[in-house]
């Protein structure tokens, strides 16, 4: 059996062992084609089957209604920061950017290159330690769309309730919590996510876009590859898509179905996160969580150790004990455990035990 690390990387991050083993088995001869999937034409029936099955499985798992298009794009979520305003921010309207972390700030900065935005809420003053209460949010008339980041990968906060924006399209960057729990897709005009946390390897970006938003797009001066319309019309096969990444994403979706779908996955994610948050909460301040309790992410658990010397020691000893990826993001420091769908319960259990042991030895 493969020796697997306790992988708490923030992204790219852990993939299910079963998925890797399946890919390994099929690597040099994909389903009797005599070649690897990477060597197949993206116009071949064998590849098209993989492509369309992945779309169908994502629709099924996320319960995506029929009036939405599922797209496989490239350029990461960072390219979506530009594509969204390029397509959906007209000159006579403003877009609302709710700023709950570094990625929402980047999205807003990018949008300002193409039009006007405003900020209905920012958590910057408290170092992005919380998600706004819904009654803290009001939107101006003539808002083209509202943009939120559903999970803040760096600060470790997550939205669990979403604003009702009425007729204003709600657009969410779900890069770091897509498919970690069920969401009512019909509340959103658009959802996008880089694949490299919960969906598969890096190189694929998923966009789920509602038809009425697509119909509003203003694409006169938008380059062909940066129009959603191009990819909708061509079933994400306008040019060569990242075929191997989409294949891997497809395997992850099959795996997610075998796990019992999003209801089962969310239950496990809650149990996994609780293992670690419980240690933080019972530590009498030895460990300090960054996020306010009701904003705590189930995907990225951010915390500090009581003093900097000890924190360094904690990270060094954890590394030596085989835990990978526990350093906080380079912009904020501290510690972060990313517990995405494919991170096993056993890894979280091992980390919680390590944390308890470390506290015992050092307090």
Q: Pick the piece of the chain touching ligand PMP (CB under 6 A) from 21-29, 84-92, 173-181, 353-361.
A: 173-181
- Which C-beta is closer to ligand PMP: that of 204 or that of 209? 204
Residue 138 to residue 165: CA distance in whole angstroms: 9
Positions annotated as catalytic residues are: 103, 173, 197
Task: List alpha helices for the chain, DSSP H.
Answer: 17-26, 45-62, 76-88, 102-111, 211-216, 228-233, 243-258, 261-281, 308-320, 345-362
- Which C-beta is closer to ligand PMP: that of 40 or that of 170? 170
Question: How is 72-112 classified by DSSP, letter by letter?
Answer: EESSHHHHHHHHHHHHH--TT-EEEE-B-SHHHHHHHHHHT
Residues in 103-162 at the binding interface with ligand PMP, rule: CB under 6 A: 103, 149, 153
| Closest residue by Cα to residue 242 from 231, 257, 229 | 231
Q: Is 103 annotated as a binding residue?
A: yes
Both structure tokens of 186: 């019909």
Tell me how far, at minimum, the Cβ of 336 lies from ligand PMP, in Å: 12
Residues in 5-34 at the binding interface with ligand PMP, rule: CB under 6 A: 11
| Binding-site member from 13, 69, 157, 176 for ligand PMP (CB under 6 A) | 176
Residue 109 to residue 249: CA distance in whole angstroms: 30
Backbone angles phi, psi at 361, to 5 degrees: -75, -20
Residue 340 to residue 177: CA distance in whole angstroms: 8
- Which C-beta is closer to ligand PMP: that of 40 or that of 208? 208
- Which C-beta is closer to ligand PMP: that of 272 or that of 336? 336
Mode of pairing for the β-strands spanning 287-289 and 205-210: unpaired
Both structure tokens of 224: 């062909």
Q: Pick the piece of the chain touching ligand PMP (CB under 6 A) from 122-130, 170-178, 320-328, 341-349.
A: 170-178
Mode of pairing for the β-strands spanning 300-305 and 287-289: antiparallel
Which DSSP state fits 327? B
Q: Pick the piece of the chain touching ligand PMP (CB under 6 A) from 23-31, 73-81, 164-172, 287-295.
A: 73-81
Q: Is 196 annotated as a binding residue?
A: yes
| Binding-site member from 36, 44, 78, 230 for ligand PMP (CB under 6 A) | 78
Q: Is 159 annotated as a binding residue?
A: no
Tell me how far, at minimum, the Cβ of 179 lies from ligand PMP, in Å: 14
- Which C-beta is closer to ligand PMP: that of 153 or that of 236? 153
**Nearest position to ligand PMP, beta carbon:** 76
Q: Is 284 annotated as a binding residue?
A: no
Q: Is 77 annotated as a binding residue?
A: yes
Q: Pick the piece of the chain touching ligand PMP (CB under 6 A) from 75-83, 124-132, 162-170, 183-191.
A: 75-83
Is 34 exposed, middle or buried, given 0-12, 13-18 or 19+ CB atoms closer than 10 A? exposed
Which DSSP state fits 285? T
Burial 164-178 (b: 16+ CB within 10 A, else e): ebeebbbbbbbbbbb
Interface with ligand PMP (CB under 6 A): 11, 76-78, 103, 149, 153, 173, 175-176, 194
Residue numbering of the annotated binding site for pyridoxal 5'-phosphate: 77-78, 103, 153, 173, 196, 239-240
């Amino acid at each position: 059996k493969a020796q697997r690390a306790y992988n708490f990387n923030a992204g790219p991050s852990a993939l299910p062992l079963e998925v890797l083993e399946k890919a390994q088995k099929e690597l040099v001869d994909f389903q009797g084609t005599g070649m690897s999937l990477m060597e197949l034409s993206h116009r071949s029936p064998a590849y098209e089957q993989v492509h369309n099955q992945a779309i169908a499985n994502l629709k099924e798992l996320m319960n995506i209604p029929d009036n939405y298009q599922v797209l496989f794009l490239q350029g990461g979520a960072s390219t979506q920061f530009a594509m969204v305003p390029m397509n959906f921010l007209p000159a006579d309207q403003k877009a609302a950017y709710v700023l709950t972390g570094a990625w929402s700030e980047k999205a807003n900065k990018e949008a300002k290159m193409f039009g006007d935005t405003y900020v209905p809420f920012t958590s910057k003053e408290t170092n992005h330690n919380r998600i706004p209460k819904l009654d803290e949010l009001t939107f101006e008339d003539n808002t083209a769309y509202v943009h939120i980041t559903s999970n803040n990968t760096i600060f470790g906060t997550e939205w669990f309730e979403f604003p009702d924006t009425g007729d204003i399209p709600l657009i969410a960057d779900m890069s770091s919590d897509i498919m970690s729990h069920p969401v009512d897709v019909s509340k959103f005009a658009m959802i996008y996510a880089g694949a490299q946390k919960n969906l598969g390897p890096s190189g694929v970006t998923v966009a789920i876009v509602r038809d009425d938003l697509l119909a509003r797009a203003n694409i006169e001066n938008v380059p062909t590859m940066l129009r959603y319309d191009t990819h909708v019309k061509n079933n994400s096969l306008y040019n060569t898509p990242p075929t191997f990444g989409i294949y891997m994403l497809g395997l992850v979706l099959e795996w997610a179905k075998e796990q019992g779908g999003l209801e089962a996955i969310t239950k496990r994610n809650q149990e996994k996160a609780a293992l670690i948050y419980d240690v933080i909460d019972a530590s009498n301040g030895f460990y300090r969580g960054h996020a306010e309790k009701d904003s705590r992410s189930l995907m990225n658990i951010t915390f500090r150790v009581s003093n900097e010397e000890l924190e360094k020691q904690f990270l060094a000893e954890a590394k030596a004990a085989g835990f990978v990826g526990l350093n906080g993001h380079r912009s904020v420091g501290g510690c972060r455990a990313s517990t995405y769908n494919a991170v096993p319960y056993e890894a979280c259990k091992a980390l919680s035990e390590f944390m308890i042991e470390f506290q015992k030895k050092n307090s």
